[in-house]
Amino acid sequence: MKYRELAKTGLKVSEIGFGVWTVSTTWWGVKEESIGVSLLQKAFDLGINFFDTADTYGNGLGETILVKALGPHRDKILIGTKVGYDFYHHTGRRGQEELPQDFSPDYLEFALNESLKRLGTDWIDLYQLHNPRIDVIQRTEVFETLEKLKRAGKIRAYGVALGPAINARQIDEGKAAIETRRVDSVQIIYNLLEQMLGLDLFPIGRQGQSSFLVRVPHASGLLDGTVRPETTFTENDHRYHRVSTDEKKRQWQEEGLKKVEQLKFLTGETGRTLGQAALKFILSEPSVSSVLPNIYNDHLLAEFSAASNVPDLTLEELSQLPVHNHTRLSY
């Protein structure tokens, strides 16, 4: 495993991180906590040291599962968690709908202390605002509170995670977070099939010295071989709900797989799988510190963790890649 610095924080995160949402919610197929604990432990053994979670994942499970899996290794791992969705006072969530958000100074401090308790730690390495809109990023008191928590030693760095689904408004949100708030990190959706946010934000991040964390690097399964022409989605799969009709599901699947066919030259004799090539494409951007693939079984964990050491994409390969500047594929 290779490691990169998160902005200028001194924190060295693994190029391949672990998005804990796959093992702490029921939206991606892992329903047994013991399987999630095992995957997290194996990830650590393979050199993954960055674990990205959120307080709202499984209403706290996304944090407590890290203690169960990696509690004895707290000083050897870096934990990123998120804040903003008030699941303490709003418990009537239906499916994957967004809960009400609260970014008030009092709530930020309250939620942080609750996360610290669940994580069994005195500090959080990276504290991220969870899907903040532009009005939140424009509120000075939000970032004054984050600076206060940093001075108190409760957090080591802070950033924003933009979402939930990819949206053009996130360009303005990311730009404001980097240029106005000088955040340490910006988390976005970016992959071979959906490059819009990266095309606009990476140059700004390089100038502002903010690092990027990238999620959905495989376009919700299109780029790692887990979505095939015959694949169907059950109701507990988050993609089932993101695409409103069966016809749109088929369209997303068919259009995406046609685009994937154009990328097969990245595999073959290169020593990479397509899933690994998709990760190396993102890591070819120097402002990216860590990529967060969806890991939910041993096979994917082994494949993705090994991506850090497969051959980089060549300049010739990069020049052959089509630019996909749109928002339609990932769910």
Q: Is the pLDDT of residue 30 over 90?
A: no
d(CA 36, CA 45): 14
Which one is catalytic: 57, 85, 158, 296?
A: 57
The pLDDT tens digits of the residues spanning 80-92 come to: 999 999 999 987 6
Query: What is the per-residue pLDDT for 247?
Result: 81
Write the Ramachandran bin of 151: left for phi over 0, alpha for psi from -120 to 50, otherwise beta: alpha
As beta bridge partners, residue 52 has 19, 80
Q: What band does 328 get if pLDDT is binned at 50, 70 and 90?
A: very low
State the pairing for strand pair 211-215/185-189: parallel
Query: What is the per-residue pLDDT for 174?
Result: 98
Q: How far is CA 60 from CA 90, 149, 309, in A?
A: 14, 21, 34
Query: Does 247 or 299 have the greater pLDDT score?
Result: 299
Gyration radius of the chain over CA positions:
19
Strands (E), the chain: 3-5, 12-14, 18-19, 50-52, 78-83, 124-130, 155-161, 185-189, 211-215, 288-292
Query: What is the per-residue pLDDT for 27?
Result: 76
Query: What is the per-residue pLDDT for 93?
Result: 60
Query: What is the per-residue pLDDT for 252?
Result: 84
Nearest to 127 by CA among 142, 106, 112, 110: 112
The model's pTM is: 0.94
Query: What is the per-residue pLDDT for 250?
Result: 82
Query: What is the per-residue pLDDT for 96?
Result: 64
Residue listed under structure tokens 């399964």 = 221
**213, 52 in Cβ contact below 8 A?**
yes
Nearest to 252 by CA among 234, 229, 278, 280: 229
**292, 190 in Cβ contact below 8 A?**
no
Query: Which token pair is 131?
Result: 């899907």
- Share of residues in the chain with pLDDT > 90 (%): 82
Q: Is residue 296 among the annotated active site residues?
A: no
The pLDDT tens digits of the residues spanning 36-73 come to: 999 999 999 999 999 999 999 999 999 999 999 999 99
The pLDDT tens digits of the residues spanning 93-109 come to: 665 678 999 999 999 99
Q: What is the arithmetic mean of pLDDT over 196-212?
A: 96
Query: What is the per-residue pLDDT for 330?
Result: 46
Nearest to 5 by CA among 156, 164, 169: 156
The pLDDT tens digits of the residues spanning 126-152 come to: 999 999 999 999 999 999 999 999 999
Query: What is the per-residue pLDDT for 12?
Result: 98
Residue listed under structure tokens 């393979």 = 46
